Structure 1
Amino acid sequence: MHGREAIATLFRTEFARATMVCEVEQILEYGEWAAMEWRDPLGLRGCGFFRVRDGRIVFQRGYFDQLSFFRQHGLAVPDHCLG
């Protein structure tokens, strides 16, 4: 996904689906790169990787168990997640 509007639309849509809480466990930095490990109060865990240039995130990738997230929040699994 590219561009501020596409990112903003994704976050508006996803954050409207469930109450999400991210408690940072640790942040590691090396040059332009950072990694964040997190957990939520329901026990879900994940991590995110970021590349930052000139104070802006130019790359982000995150990992967590999306199926567990859907189940914890009583959400239907979207068809595009079922393969």
Structure 2
Amino acid sequence: MEPKQLIEKWVEVFNQGDAEKLARFYHDDAINHQVANEPVIGRDAIKTMFASEFATAEMVCIVENIFQDGNWAILEWKDPLGLRGCGFFKCEAGLITFQRGYWDKLSFLKAHNLPVPV
């Protein structure tokens, strides 16, 4: 499966809010680094991260663009609350091995009425 197709399917599962299913898209040793947070290493840790995030806020990914360059997919997204971001996914053998996401954490926290760290 091409990286663009993989990320299209990833978005579908992300929007279901199912951390177990979403974790299956990642290699055992994958790294997910949302730059507003510390990197998360390993499929199990990534699953735990998504489970926590889905329990904290209702997140919806609306695709604006998905580009592919070799084994990389680039996802430009927005959500219904107006937050926008961009994710880079390195894909190998049909799995995500590395993900880096850029988005405004302060805007996310405020939009979801979550506490803002001091």
TM-score (norm: length of structure 1):
0.90
Distance 2:44 2:65 in 1: 29
Distance 1:41 1:4 in 2: 28
Corresponding position of 1:46 = 85
Q: Point out where structure 2 has 5 or more consecutive residues left out of the alignment.
A: 1-39
Corresponding position of 1:66 = 105
Number of matched pairs:
79
Task: Tell which has more relative contact order, 1 or 2 (C-alpha 8 A, sep 6+).
Answer: 2
SS at match of 2:41: coil
Do structure 1's residue 23 and structure 2's residue 62 form an aligned pair? yes
Alignment RMSD (CA, Å): 1.0
Structure number with bigger Rg: 1
> How far did residue 47 of structure 1 move?
0.5
Distance 1:2 1:64 in 2: 19
Selected match of 1:10 from 39, 49, 52: 49
Distance 1:66 1:15 in 2: 15
Q: Point out where structure 1 has 5 or more consecutive residues left out of the alignment.
A: none
Distance 1:39 1:3 in 2: 26
Distance 2:94 2:112 in 1: 34
Corresponding position of 2:31 = none
Between the aligned residues of both structures, percent identity stands at 58
SS at match of 1:29: strand
> How far did residue 5 of structure 1 move?
1.0
Structure 1 residue ranges, 4+ long, deviating more than 2 angstroms after superposition: none
